[in-house]
Amino acid sequence: MEKVRLVPLLLGLLATACGAAVPEPSTPSLLASSSYGGASSAFSAPSGPSIPSHGDTRGALVVRPDLACVPFVLRVELADPKAGLDLLEKATLALKERFGASTGGAATIAMLGANTTAAPAYTKVKDDKPPPAHFVVTVDGAVEVPLAAEAGYWARAKLVAGLVEASRKEDALVPSGGEGAPELEVAFGAPELKLRDPESHRAELVKRWVERARAFARVAESQTAPLHLVACEPPNAITQTPISLEQVGLALPVSCRIDVSSLPR
């Protein structure tokens, strides 16, 4: 038997551009942030649609997302952990086929974390012998679908709809082994649209930050006390903020101090 859930997923920006390793194997939770989460509205009925909140923080640079992804986690408990990994591998291949059918074969699978832990023992057997060992095996990853640059709003909306539909299918990923067979648990996050390689925009983000900092310095400085950038730390990783189906905001956190330059003696 297989359980399918659509639950929130804790997300980090990793090299695969979507999804993060699940730190707690006993809780298969995925976190997906979506710009369509829905904000409360005083003008809509409780049972009616609410106006989505797209956020006010747009970032220093707004670009078109080129990747759609759906985070997922698979978990099974059984006596042989290697057999569990074999089962989860088959389920992952089935996931690729399922999402491929809804995306014209464009879906790929990016695997992230894997975890095997001993399951707690709940019962005792005869003669007070310890129960046979069981293990909880968990893997997680993301379904990834590239977004064509020319794909407009409606094409992207249909793709997202197909991803949601595929994540809600009830049919089993792998054939049931009958009564007593291990139970496969599946959880999906909501589709996310983002940029696969935000680092390609680092030079432009640095340029824009320097221009804004220099503009501020020119306004704030006096003729006798010119201001300059001093004590700059290395820039951090680029952050992404989803805005819409066709926009994602990029920002580059930079830590510098603007101070009066030293005057020659």
Instruction: Give domain status of residue 47, yes or no.
Output: no
Average pLDDT, the chain: 78
| 140 and 75 assigned to the same domain | yes
pLDDT digits 0-9 by tens, 97-148: 999 999 999 999 999 999 999 988 765 556 666 667 889 999 999 999 999 9
Structure tokens given for 154: 């409606």
Cα(124)–Cα(118) distance, integer angstroms = 16
The whole model's pTM is what?
0.72
Boundary residue ending a domain (165, 194, 223): 194
pLDDT digits 0-9 by tens, 67-79: 999 999 999 999 9
Mean pLDDT of 23-36: 36
201 and 73 in contact (C-beta within 8 Å)? no
| 87 and 188 assigned to the same domain | yes
pLDDT digits 0-9 by tens, 203-249: 999 899 888 888 887 777 666 677 777 778 888 899 999 889 999 99
Boundary residue ending a domain (168, 194, 220): 194
Q: Into how many domains does the chain fold?
A: 2
State the residue range of the domain holding 96: 2-39+53-194
| 138 and 209 assigned to the same domain | no
| 188 and 213 assigned to the same domain | no
| 172 and 203 assigned to the same domain | no
pLDDT digits 0-9 by tens, 8-27: 443 333 334 465 433 333 33
Boundary residue ending a domain (163, 194, 225): 194
Cα(190)–Cα(37) distance, integer angstroms = 10
| 109 and 166 assigned to the same domain | yes
Give the side-chain half-sphere CA count within 13 A for 155: 11
Alpha-carbon torsion (19, 23, 29, 35), positive or negative = negative
Percentage above 90 pLDDT, the chain: 48
Structure tokens given for 192: 């996310």
247-251 β-sheet, strand order: 61-63, 247-251, 239-244
